[in-house]
Structure 1
Amino acid sequence: MIFILIILIVTSADLLIKNHIERYYRNGKEKHILGGLIRIRKLNNYGGFLNYLENHFTILKILSSILILIIAALLAKALPKAGLSLKKAGLSLILGGALSNEYDRYSKGCVTDYFSINLPFIKKIVFNIGDFAIFAGILFSLTGNSKK
């Protein structure tokens, strides 16, 4: 049950934040927090990560929908098994983030990204919480799959 809750929390939190950003961060408004480390602003992403496939939106929607179904199937297969908590948590994080972004793609035609981290190697990339959940979920899943 905790893993379903993770999916619901990630998806809901990201969609609520995106709604706030859509309402209050129009026309280039931005805010810097944590001493300028985090920059909050609205960016419409018409592709996947790093705008991948932005000129092939239909293909992107189909591929991401297929990947969501695969992740859901992997989670459904793992849930009844004892152990594998890290893998289950990882798959739940991936699914929560992916569902939030996919909802945006289908409902608005783009994904709302809203913050960047002011570090030299990533400061031009704009993320959302769903993206971070996906990244963390991949790390958890890979760690949860490793054999000792």
Structure 2
Amino acid sequence: MREQTLLVAVLTQLRGLMPVPLLGFDSDNDSVFINEIVRDYCMGAGIEFTRCRPYRKNDQAHVEQKNGSVVRRLVGYRRFEGLEAARALAELYAAARLFVNFFPAFVQAGGKAPGGRPSLQTLPCTCNPVSTSAGRPSHLRRDP
């Protein structure tokens, strides 16, 4: 029961940090996520609540890829326990999230190549999420 209540508190805090509204929450099949407390919270907040398919380990592949490319590079594979470690990790992640979510450059897909495959197009300027979101219509942005 305690973990579910903590998850609801974290989701509330997360929604305040996000630059766009949270429209959906997709979790794995852990009992911390799949329960009435989290379901009721999502229903009350207008968040679509979905879960991955049972016994399909690749359903969360993008999350696992992000864990490998961001989390494991920052802190390694060691398991940290305790309140002091949690505070230190929270401070580290608070600083790292700004860099990871706003500043790395990327290349946008430039349309479809013959045969239906996406083709990559290098844009004339370096693009990052900050520069591209500035050009979005106001209804897609959420000002702090």
Q: Could you say which TM-score interval applies, normalised by the shorter chain?
A: under 0.3
Question: Scaled by the length of structure 2, what TM-score is found?
Answer: 0.25
**Greater share of helix:** 1
Higher relative contact order at CA 8 Å, sep ≥6: structure 1 or structure 2?
1
